[in-house]
Structure 1
């Protein structure tokens, strides 16, 4: 994927995540997207940081629940997949947001 396609896809992904997370747990968290960095600060002070990393064409996640992970886009799967496992970014975030909300949350 060329740099422009990566930037477009990563930005759309972050915007989509912002909207979905804000809708799902916005009453229990401060959700902000600025300059390609999505932050989710929970009421207890824990914080998620999700950002694009252009040099590696990845989305990076820092989670207070699962820790740090990097996700590359898998065109065949049509998803951002962890570089260390077969987990998708959306599945990880859906699971964790469900734990936070106390109700099922699907971000896809």
Structure 2
């Protein structure tokens, strides 16, 4: 993938997550997008980090003790973790929803 496509797709994904989770206005979650790093800070001090890793051309996510590396799949238009076959938006929805104790849909 070329750099422009990576930047366009990764930026769109991070902005989408930032917008939807930021709109939750949940007291237990603070959402901060700074450049290509999205930090989800929870009450109690836990943080989930989602970032665009340009050298690897992947979106990386760390949540608790688990990490994912998502690759852009043009045919599906989605970011997919090759090792687990999980999709970025579904994964973020699942782990954030579990942490907050509510249904989250991205």
* TM > 0.5 fold call: yes
User: What are the residue-to-residue correspondences of 1:7-46 with 2, within 5 Å?
Assistant: 7-24=7-24, 26-46=26-46
Tell me the distance in 2 between the aligned counterparts of 1:99 and 1:20: 16
The equivalent of 1:86 in structure 2 is 85
CA–CA separation in structure 1 for the residues paired with 2:88 and 2:81: 7
TM-score norm. by structure 1 comes to: 0.90
Aligned residue pairs, count: 106
Structure 1 residue 100: Cα displacement: 2.4
Q: Normalising by the residue count of structure 2, what TM-score does the alignment of the two structures yield?
A: 0.91
The runs of 4+ residues in structure 1 deviating greater than 3 Å are none
What secondary structure sits across from 2:79 in the alignment?
Answer: strand
Secondary structure at the residue paired with 2:39?
A: strand
Partner of 1:100: 99
Q: CA deviation at 1:57?
A: 0.8
Return the alpha-carbon distance in structure 1 between the equivalents of residues 74 and 40 of structure 2.
27
Distance 2:82 2:24 in 1: 27
Q: Distance in 2 between matches of 1:47 and 1:60?
A: 14
Deviation at 1:69, TM superposition (A): 1.0
SS in 2 for 1:4: helix
In the TM superposition, residue 24 of structure 1 has moved relative to its aligned partner by 3.0
